[in-house]
Structure 1
Amino acid sequence: MDPDVQSTRAVRRPPLDSSRHGQPARSPSGSRSPIDGVASRLCGTRMTCRWRRMVLSRRYCAGRGRPNRLRVRRKGSLLMHIARFAVVAALFMGTVVLFLAPEPASAQVTTGTLRGTVRGDDGAPIAEAEVTLINEATGDIRSATTGADGGFAFTNLQVGGPYHVTANFAGFKPSEEKGIMLSANRTRDVALALHLSEEVIEITGTAVARNTSNRTVVTAAEIDELPSVNRDPRDVVRRNPEVTVEGGARALSIGGANNRYNSITIDGVREDDDFGLNASGYPTRRSPIALSAVQELTVDTSPFDVRYGKFLGGNVNIITKSGTNEFKGSLVGTYSSDSFLGSKSGNRKINVDYRDFRYGVTVGGPVIKDKLFFLASIEGLNSTTPIDAGPNGSTASTVVTQVSPDDMAMVQQIAKDVYGFDPGVPSQSGKERDLKLLGKLDLTLNKDQRGSVIYQRTGGNSIQVGNTATQSLLPLSSNWYDARDTLNMFTGRWASDWSDQLSTVAEANVKLVSSRVPSLNGNNFMAAIINTGAANQPGGQGSIRLGPDPSRHANRLDNDVIHTKGEANYLLGANLLTGGVEYERTYIDNLFIQNALGTASYASPTAFANKTPTQIVYANSTTLNPEDAAANWHVGLWTAYLQDQFKLTPDLTLQGGLRFEMYQTGSRPPRNQNFVNRYGFENNGSLNGRDILEPRLGISWLPLENLNVRAGAGLYSGGTPAVWMSNNYTNDGTRTFSVTNRTASVINGFNGRDIPQAILDAVKNGAGNGNVDVLDPDFKIPSVWKIGAGADYFLDIPGTGEYGKSLELRGNYTLTKVRSGVNWMDLRRNLAILPNNIPIGNTPDGRPLYDPNFNTARGFDMELTNDSRGYGNVASVVVQKAFPFGLFASASYAYTNTQEVSPGTSSVSTSNYGIVAVVDPNHPDLAVSNYERRHRFTGALEYSDTLVNRIVEAVGSEAPADVKRMKTSFGVFMESRSGQPYSWTFSGATAAGGTDNTGQTLSRIFGEDSSIASRNRELFFVPQESRTCMDTFTSGCDVVLKGITKDEFNTFLSRTGLDAYRGKISPRNAFYGPRYNRVDVRLAQDLPTPIAGQRGRFVIDIENFGNLLSHNWGLFRQVAFPYYTPAVNVDVDRATGAYVYSSLRSANPTQGPSTTDLLLSVWRLSIGVMYDF
């Protein structure tokens, strides 16, 4: 079976517990080795202290300075608030009636449902028939009695199976169905017919899957066949055509949405990056779960079930394996190194130090047969991972053309000789470790009471670069940092059947995440930026960065979450009612001060040697103790939901419900009176009392025996990173202050460690005047509408026999409309009380022009606000077929058209504001999304056969029995997708008055703080050819070309496609990088085993196989983050008002401004041994 799509009619395909290639079925049980003594080693003092902090949270997280705060009055009528309260109260009371008071719990859905009807020979429903359901793997037995309509339902069923259902009624022979496999949050329908006959009526694999959403389901057996060098669930989810996994961080985007907007749940518990620091979407740098511990993985782009929430993109739901009545397990070990790595990409060679060793053990089985089961898993990683950049002329993966080898060597020597600091090197391999532990107990107390306890721990490190190397920027290893993350998760769950109609589940979990980011060469030195090369050299000036990355100067995070949940299911005739209440409480302890060690900029290596910086940026607590600026706060989220799944007819199921969410917190940022004086509203707003009601509706219709039609609509909220709100608690303007000092008498002689006293005094005196992050008083919870429709069709082609049967076609369309999105505004922009802060005119393209004496270091007040613009259209189609001779083939295509206002690519508000290509900084235009990949094609081929036995037979011999069973497998995954959208912008000329740097030049033109303007984000203006002059201004000119001929300029515009926007500002993300094509391959050969029923395999995984065949294939090329690139340097002729363009960038006719990431563009191979027992 293809992992992209689970069959909606099992009658059309083999039962899920059998292999599509005819090999023995894999057990749904997990496998891993026991974890001896783990709990005792983990219950250390620090964890105990963190737990006590959570218990005593009201005192600990109350925040400073709470007295005399003013509460922001939200808009809205009293009637609206009364109505909202009535809704949540009704949902809550209705749920309480259905089940006992909820115990602590978690998030998404972890169990399956089996519904059915029992009818007689005449088709009439049979009431009071006895229905028995058996999980054949665990021996769990459930029973129910049919209602007046002949209906029955079993809820809260363990995922997997196989299940065996039997119906009995006096005077009739039993009817049974076998081989039923269940998926999380999917309802299986069965129709059992009782006859007045003498034999048992047996039906195998005819259960119909009810599904109202666009969902991909991948089982454990399918995961075992997929190529995955990294052994990461992201290698599985990319099989869905609407999912992309991209870049070195392997950012996961679903349906063209922000990679931060997804929800990742493991055994129903949210394990996404809820704080929002990791592009992967995980709470840790790597997957928190071992791939071989996964029983089932689902990807939902739009689940219309009200139990799903806290995402705007999509949901990835992972169910881990459980123990069964048989002892089973597996061993795995894989190895890769630079000997198994491609040496060339295009015309460039690569030579790095790389090793990767992964190992894992799983084991599961009974503690007490039919009663108590265990599953234990451990998976580890020891890796040496390269970061490879170098100056111009080097053979590094990333060549910084604007930095010469001599300049780099000079800067390195100066740092050692003058400052006594080791600056590091541009290229080296860092040691990385990772360890994942999972322990699980499942208890069946009796046929009506079941429970489970899960412990999970993940810890590891990853060497990261604070500033990614580009053509002009070279970071040395002292600018890198060691990202260390630890996750501890505790989960308890109890399910009860109180009657044939009523069942409940209560859950509890605690998640503790700790993150630390020490710099590689220590945090006892400044961050230094040293410019190299001529000021106006072609391509712009280069720079070298050394010393701790400014964002890692004072940085730590503890993010702890408690989830609670109770849910009930009640079968009322044809209605299956589901109601629940959840509570989630998040505790955050976050210290984050950029430039707390000081960041100094130098005009040249000579200035660096002479200790004459052009500026020093320093920030700290006004007490000069960084700890006094830590943000300690908490927020709670109440959720209540009620849903009805109504079988209108045997072929038509309607599902509708409401989900209500309300935030609650007593934590507020400290009040800043200066901010209130500036703007007339409070800076200490919070999420407290903000709520949202989310309606959902889904339909599943089976008009034909081989056709399932589904549709739905719903509102979805949440999923935005907590760090965006945490910024308001960190940057209140009262506890921290940032100084930018350019006075030579103050900053000359800076030794990189001792901040000049004048700067320290300015910080101490800056209380109340620091930069402020603030929440819009009318802020609404981010939300989107999703409307979807799709169909699953099984086609039999006449005259083709078994080869043309069960060709599966799957189509889906989803429309997403932003209801309340996010945007960041700088309130200080155009604030009249700041000197020279009001525009004095307009540039030739209509943008405001500012005074040449504009204060280029004026700071910011950043407001997190809403914007309702934005939408997405995503359509996909999948065609797949399992052939009787062991071949499975699949092909899919997805079209994505998404538009957004703010891409939200950062955890810092000034970056979210300042790294968007814009015309009006406070009101970015609606534009193509950063996350859109317009066209994506995927394909999969899998083939398995007893090849060894065939060879033995071909030479006239007979193989032993164990050799006859040995399989040879071959799997291929192919992907081709559109390139990264990008924009053309301006860079600032560096000769404005002979003193300004690029940021200051742009700052004085467009009215931005120089630290933002230096990011070169102002969109490029494309002049009409008739209004373009060379060298000197003439009447009617909008642009004067300086050092650029018209022919050169016109050729550049033609090659880049910019000439399509003559007389206009080129739009954001109107251009696309080169297409990316990749092929991954797995070869697996079964090995002889000494014991029957066990299986050994030798596995070879090859990533980017195309590059192995040709150095010019599989290249990963895109414009470097933040996905815009300068076309020219710009200045303004103040006398005439015309733009002055200089330093025209080159335009590669084949790949434009994109650069090639060599490490992502070469093939990589791993070898492994796997043993199942």
Structure 2
Amino acid sequence: MNHSLRTKLLPVAIATLLATAPAFAQDTSSSISGRIVDGNGQPIAGATVQIVHEPTGTTKTTTTDAAGRYAAQGLRVGGPFDVKVSKDGTETEQDNVYLQLAQDTAVNLTMGVSAATANAQNLSGVTVSANALSQTFTPDNKGISTNISRRELDAAPTPGRSIQNIVRMDPRVVITDRARGEISAIGQNSRYNNITVDSVSANDPFGLNANGLPTLGTPISQDTIEEYNISTANYDVATRRGLGANINAVTKSGTNNFHGSVYYAFQNTDMIGDNEQDKPYAGFNRQWTGGATLGGPIIKDKLFFFTSVEKSEQVGSGSPYGPADSNAATPVKNLTSAQVQQIRDIAAKQYGLTDIGSVGGGNSNLVDKRYLAKIDWNITDNHRASFTYSQTKENKPIITGSTTKLVLSSGWYKTNVDNKSYALHFYDDWSDIFSTDTTVSYADFNQNRGPYNGVAMPDITIYPAQFNGGSAVEFGTEYSSQANVLKVKTFNAAFAGTLYLGDHTLKGGFDYEKDKYYNLFLQNYYGSYTFEDLTGGPSNGIDAFAQGKYYQYRYNRPADGLSLDDVAARYNLNQWGVFLQDTWQVTNNLSLQYGVRVDIPLMSDKPLYNKTFAQSFSYADGTPRNNQVNINGNRVVQPRMSFNYNFDTEHMMQLRGGAGLFVTNTPGVWVGNIFSNSGVTQTQYNCGPTQNGCKTNLPPFSPDPFHQNNGASGSGQMTVNSIEPGFRIPTAWKFSLGFDKELPWYGLIATADYQHIKQRDAIWYQNLNIGAPTGVLPDGRFTYYKLTTMDPKATGQVSRANANTKFSDGTINLANTNKGSADSITLALKKPFADDWQAMVGFTWSRATEVNPGTSSVARSNWANNYVMNPNENVASNSNYSIPRRVIASLTWQHRFFGDYATSVSAFYDGHNAAPFSWTFGNDANGDGFTNDLVYIPRPGEVEFGYRDAKGNIVAADQKLVQQFYNYVQGNDYLKDHQGSVAKRNGDRAGWINQIDLSFSQEIPGIFKGNKGEIRFDVYNFTNLLNKHWGIEKRVNFPGGRPLADFAGVDPKTGKYLYDITCGGKLATCTNYINNGNYSPQAIPTYINNNDDLAQRWSVLLTLKYKF
């Protein structure tokens, strides 16, 4: 606003600025609303308001009501718009208005002036320029959100050209794992985010990927995006799925002028730094992205198009792993080339497996292809439509391995994804007081996962020396890739109508989603074997392999009479949502919004009934469990309210807040596990000398993937996944309070936000087949071992001693818990772009707890990968995704040194706590068959140190090592503070992460008039370029446990724990606890210094672009 007019008309402006009608919460459009008054602040009724989108000539015309208010919905994102108001020959205009996605922009104007001021101003109308503050200080701003415009997208460093580069610009949203691309908002599960592009879901449709996306790469070209809206608290009842962050993007549209671009981004290993151990990057040789966009008119002012095509490829050099005595970039510890050759000879000569794969070689070429086509149609001034088609195809070979496991090429796998979507939108103004928004969309997702080389083989893992402290060799078809096909078809329809009734705006409507799932997922279909040293048998895995004596054999097959296709989970999920809301402009300063939303899942499909399951397990009230229970009809009623209050101050100031219930996305796989694992369609065997239920009369080893051997009659085990009656899709209460203040310098805006999340229906996985405990360990936890000494290596020892042998250890139930919460405080300071620069700094303090992190798609993994004191405990601990402190800052400077050709420099800083981790036992301490046990942190004298020899006698540990153990405890703040208690899950942290990314771009003359070229450099992790020890993300390996000692039983004479810190006296190979003969738990940095981890080093991306 013009400064002099601002001073003279300040009382009128303050009175009207926040008195506008609220915006209709749009996924793909924007809105303008406001109030028209005269020079005395009195409302002007019947004034004509004309809103023109200048690039397309799209025009909307409306009139003001008795209170002088007007509103226009369904407008394009961006601008510029020209707003003209006229009545009785007097006109008022505001030009250069830019609109934000899913936000209302307040445009309040004054027509004419009073007689007292007419001569002074000598104006019959008022013309003002756009005011960026109106995008923040608006009554529609009630929750917590961040908008990122195309201008900001162009300026921000985006070294990965990914959505992760963008969403981190919100101080409440953090990339908790840079390598996996996990996106978390205020400590919530990455699967709880809702990501949409042009209102079509860009979420992982089944919940398989840690990044929450349907592909490993970004699902849509960032060059097609017009704007992002990121919200962690949007109280509009039309908003679905708001437990995490709502990340909403709208794509570009065509205009009356032809515009487009051609671009090429490139990076090779010369543009990537060495890691902290001076090892060069080995993940790929080079990567590139090439693409083009084009938009323009089909019929001027009427019909427009926009298209985009993009291809990305990472060209990999293959596996970096090899034996320790080879020249491999990443050597596997304690593994020799001779051992690998022995395994290869045995496989070929004894079992006919002549090609078990190579060491190294292959390629890990990730190929993504992205297509987009969009049509916009101005049907009339009051009716607009758009259609968007999008397709993403991805082909990704997965080369696995680690510093403790060499996976030969036959053990690698590949994933192919094809994701198509179609969306049709209608934006209609039926009168000055009634508008509607209608959306229909369809998405088709297909994913196939199979062996890298296409050859079927059992999955075979061999520990050449000894299991404890030794490394392994794996070959054959990876056990989860033996029968793995996923298809998801999704249909969506949504309708919302908005009725303006003076001070009240009513909104109501519905949305509907139908998901049709086909999921064939049969692990161990070709058989999976583990060979290692056996008590009373072969002393190493190679001899065991040669003799066909395995430690464990897993085999899952279709039940008798069923085919492989019968095993697939086929089911439909229908979700209805209805909502009603009123927004009441109570006064010129106060806006209230209140309403209710009801989501109802309908699921008529049920898995086959398992009678044996019902006879074997019961609910708390004693009634038989039913594996056919699903989420049908478990509705969620979500009341919500919010407010915005504007203060009458010289500089704009507002208070906003709200409270309400939100439901998350439905990870289809969590619900679908009841179909995949009914226990009726599959017969499962888990055999081996220590496997309860199948440890005698073992079936012989078979190298033929299609002729695996059944266990002894009756030894086949069922895996049943069930859902607790009344289970609801995760829901949580949200409360927020925010304060915004315009500062008197440089257009700065200061913001303070508080947000609280209380889980109402969180996830709680329970293992139904643990069996009754056999005793209590010294720290009070239950044990499930058979022998009184509880020595896990003792002859005859059995875990889950009282478990039902008809069922596997993966018999898991999914229930709700109301435990878990989160709190977040954010302080931010932002300078909008002006005078060639913009800047932002934000500080966030948060805490988050949960009962189960939900890190996997498999029910058994979700239960097993959660560190606990007792199995099935309902205890909230620090969230896997919790980042207590975070600081972000950005700075962009732009200047035109050479005519109209801009020079731009940008920087983005992200500093935050590293991921949490748990101190654990290094093995199974409680006998439940899993190594997910939190360790007891002893005081001196509370536990014994040693191990049992072959005769069962305790061999005491060297007292020097014992003293070093306690010295280490005293030197670690967390361990020191918690001596005498069981470690808390995620109680400790790996440190602090600092990352600075830079961007430099220079426009240059194009070939033709009006065209421009652009040269751009993005530098990822700039501080690592200065010092290799900076910019490092220290992280304990998934699932986040760091062993303090191995459990070696309980001394029956003293009743004390026996801790083994020597791996059974094998100091030379005990890398978990011994370093150069001294006690030292494996250091955290060793978990992340993989040579294929791009996140732990600096890199540069070069982009060339031609714009016309």
Task: Identify whether the pair has TM-score above 0.5, normalized to the shorter chain.
Answer: yes
Q: CA deviation at 1:248?
A: 2.1
Give the whole-Å Cα distance in 1 for the aligned partners of 2:273 and 2:1086.
Answer: 24
Give the whole-Å Cα distance in 1 for the aligned partners of 2:324 and 2:216.
Answer: 31
For residues 368-404 of structure 1, give each alpha carbon's deviation from its aligned partner in whole angstroms, at most 9, with x where no partner exists: 0111010111111122146534444777675543544
In structure 1, what is the equivalent of residue 644 of structure 2?
700
In structure 2, what is the equivalent of residue 497 of structure 1?
429
Give the whole-Å Cα distance in 2 for the aligned partners of 1:153 and 1:981.
Answer: 48
Cα gap change, 1:534 to 1:113, in 2 (>3 Å): same
For residues 478-503 of structure 1, give each alpha carbon's deviation from its aligned partner in whole angstroms, at most 9, with x where no partner exists: 32221111111011111221110011
In structure 2, what is the equivalent of residue 315 of structure 1?
246
2:891 to 941, 945, 960: 941
Give the whole-Å Cα distance in 2 for the aligned partners of 1:156 and 1:1061.
Answer: 57
For residues 1047-1104 of structure 1, give each alpha carbon's deviation from its aligned partner in whole angstroms, at most 9, with x where no partner exists: 1221232244423222211111111013222221112111122333322111111211
SS at match of 2:241: coil
Cα gap change, 1:1134 to 1:884, in 2 (>3 Å): closer
In structure 2, what is the equivalent of residue 564 of structure 1?
493
In structure 2, what is the equivalent of residue 770 of structure 1?
718
For residues 439-483 of structure 1, give each alpha carbon's deviation from its aligned partner in whole angstroms, at most 9, with x where no partner exists: 111111111221111111110122335x662x5333333322211
Counterparts of residues 917-996 of structure 1 (less than 5 Å): 917-947=867-897, 963-988=898-923
In the alignment, structure 1 residue 591 sits paired with structure 2 residue 489:
no
In the alignment, structure 1 residue 519 sits paired with structure 2 residue 458:
no
2:72 to 151, 154, 179: 154
Matched residue type, 1:777: P
Which range is displaced more, 408-417 or 527-536? 408-417
For residues 667-722 of structure 1, give each alpha carbon's deviation from its aligned partner in whole angstroms, at most 9, with x where no partner exists: 11111111111221321011111101111112122213422322111110131411
In structure 2, what is the equivalent of residue 613 of structure 1?
550
What TM-score does the superposition give when structure 1 sets the normalisation length?
Answer: 0.82
Q: CA deviation at 1:1149?
A: 9.7
Give the whole-Å Cα distance in 2 for the aligned partners of 1:468 and 1:226.
Answer: 35
In structure 2, what is the equivalent of residue 17 of structure 1?
none
In the alignment, structure 1 residue 859 sits paired with structure 2 residue 813:
no
Give the whole-Å Cα distance in 1 for the aligned partners of 2:947 and 2:150.
Answer: 70
In structure 2, what is the equivalent of residue 103 of structure 1?
none
Cα gap change, 1:655 to 1:130, in 2 (>3 Å): same
1:329 to 255, 260, 269: 260
In structure 1, what is the equivalent of residue 160 of structure 2?
230
1:722 to 668, 671, 683: 668
2:415 to 457, 470, 483: 483
1:1142 to 1048, 1060, 1074: 1060
Q: CA deviation at 1:818?
A: 0.5
1:425 to 348, 359, 366: 359
For residues 411-456 of structure 1, give each alpha carbon's deviation from its aligned partner in whole angstroms, at most 9, with x where no partner exists: 3554455521333335754122111111111111111221111111
Matched residue type, 1:203: V
Q: CA deviation at 1:868?
A: 0.7
2:826 to 863, 868, 876: 876
Q: CA deviation at 1:199?
A: 4.2
In structure 2, what is the equivalent of residue 464 of structure 1?
398
Give the whole-Å Cα distance in 2 for the aligned partners of 1:116 and 1:202.
Answer: 16
In structure 1, what is the equivalent of residue 538 of structure 2?
none
Cα gap change, 1:850 to 1:559, in 2 (>3 Å): same
In structure 1, what is the equivalent of residue 939 of structure 2?
1024
In structure 2, what is the equivalent of residue 83 of structure 1?
none
When the two chains are superposed, the root-mean-square deviation of aligned CA atoms in Å is 2.6
Cα gap change, 1:855 to 1:980, in 2 (>3 Å): closer
Q: CA deviation at 1:649?
A: 2.3
In structure 2, what is the equivalent of residue 688 of structure 1?
632
SS at match of 1:550: coil
Give the whole-Å Cα distance in 2 for the aligned partners of 1:526 and 1:579.
Answer: 56
Give the whole-Å Cα distance in 1 for the aligned partners of 2:436 and 2:674.
Answer: 40
Q: CA deviation at 1:924?
A: 4.7
CA contact (8 A) 1:367 1:373 kept: yes
Q: CA deviation at 1:409?
A: 4.7
In the alignment, structure 1 residue 633 sits paired with structure 2 residue 571:
yes
Cα gap change, 1:942 to 1:140, in 2 (>3 Å): same
Matched residue type, 2:862: N
Give the whole-Å Cα distance in 1 for the aligned partners of 2:321 and 2:613.
Answer: 44
Give the whole-Å Cα distance in 2 for the aligned partners of 1:893 and 1:257.
Answer: 18
Matched residue type, 1:228: T
In the alignment, structure 1 residue 736 sits paired with structure 2 residue 682:
yes
Cα gap change, 1:214 to 1:328, in 2 (>3 Å): same
CA contact (8 A) 2:486 2:519 kept: yes
Matched residue type, 1:162: P
Cα gap change, 1:724 to 1:1041, in 2 (>3 Å): farther
In structure 1, what is the equivalent of residue 1037 of structure 2?
1120
In structure 2, what is the equivalent of residue 1105 of structure 1?
1022
Counterparts of residues 343-354 of structure 1 (less than 5 Å): 343-351=274-282, 353-354=284-285
CA contact (8 A) 1:1115 1:1161 kept: yes
Counterparts of residues 181-200 of structure 1 (less than 5 Å): 181-195=98-112, 199-200=124-125
Q: CA deviation at 1:1127?
A: 1.8
Q: CA deviation at 1:880?
A: 3.0
User: Structure 2, unaligned stretches of length 5 or more?
Assistant: 7-23, 533-540, 619-623, 689-694, 788-796, 949-953, 1063-1072, 1075-1079
Give the whole-Å Cα distance in 2 for the aligned partners of 1:817 and 1:396.
Answer: 49
Q: CA deviation at 1:747?
A: 4.1
1:507 to 439, 460, 470: 439
CA contact (8 A) 2:410 2:455 kept: no
Counterparts of residues 961-1110 of structure 1 (less than 5 Å): 963-988=898-923, 1002=924, 1006-1008=926-928, 1010=929, 1013=930, 1016-1030=931-945, 1042=957, 1045-1056=961-972, 1057-1110=974-1027
Q: CA deviation at 1:965?
A: 2.6
SS at match of 1:1098: strand
Q: CA deviation at 1:560?
A: 0.9
Give the whole-Å Cα distance in 1 for the aligned partners of 2:224 and 2:166.
Answer: 14
In the alignment, structure 1 residue 712 sits paired with structure 2 residue 658:
yes
Give the whole-Å Cα distance in 2 for the aligned partners of 1:731 and 1:783.
Answer: 25
Matched residue type, 2:556: A
Give the whole-Å Cα distance in 1 for the aligned partners of 2:451 and 2:293.
Answer: 35
In structure 1, what is the equivalent of residue 537 of structure 2?
none
What TM-score does the superposition give when structure 2 sets the normalisation length?
Answer: 0.87
Tell me the matched-pair count: 1009
Which range is displaced more, 209-218 or 699-708? 699-708
In the alignment, structure 1 residue 600 sits paired with structure 2 residue 516:
no
Cα gap change, 1:749 to 1:560, in 2 (>3 Å): closer
Q: CA deviation at 1:113?
A: 1.9
Q: CA deviation at 1:654?
A: 1.6
CA contact (8 A) 1:451 1:493 kept: yes
User: Structure 1, unaligned stretches of length 5 or more?
Assistant: 1-6, 13-105, 797-803, 831-836, 948-962, 989-1001, 1034-1038
SS at match of 2:365: strand
Counterparts of residues 51-66 of structure 1 (less than 5 Å): none
Cα gap change, 1:385 to 1:205, in 2 (>3 Å): same
Give the whole-Å Cα distance in 1 for the aligned partners of 2:642 and 2:440.
Answer: 29
CA contact (8 A) 2:756 2:821 kept: yes
Give the whole-Å Cα distance in 1 for the aligned partners of 2:587 and 2:339.
Answer: 77
Q: CA deviation at 1:744?
A: 8.0
In structure 1, what is the equivalent of residue 189 of structure 2?
258
For residues 537-577 of structure 1, give each alpha carbon's deviation from its aligned partner in whole angstroms, at most 9, with x where no partner exists: xxx23222222221111111001110011111111102222
For residues 570-627 of structure 1, give each alpha carbon's deviation from its aligned partner in whole angstroms, at most 9, with x where no partner exists: 1110222211111111100001111111001111123223433223210011136322
In structure 1, what is the equivalent of residue 766 of structure 2?
825
Q: CA deviation at 1:882?
A: 5.5
Give the whole-Å Cα distance in 2 for the aligned partners of 1:700 and 1:389.
Answer: 58
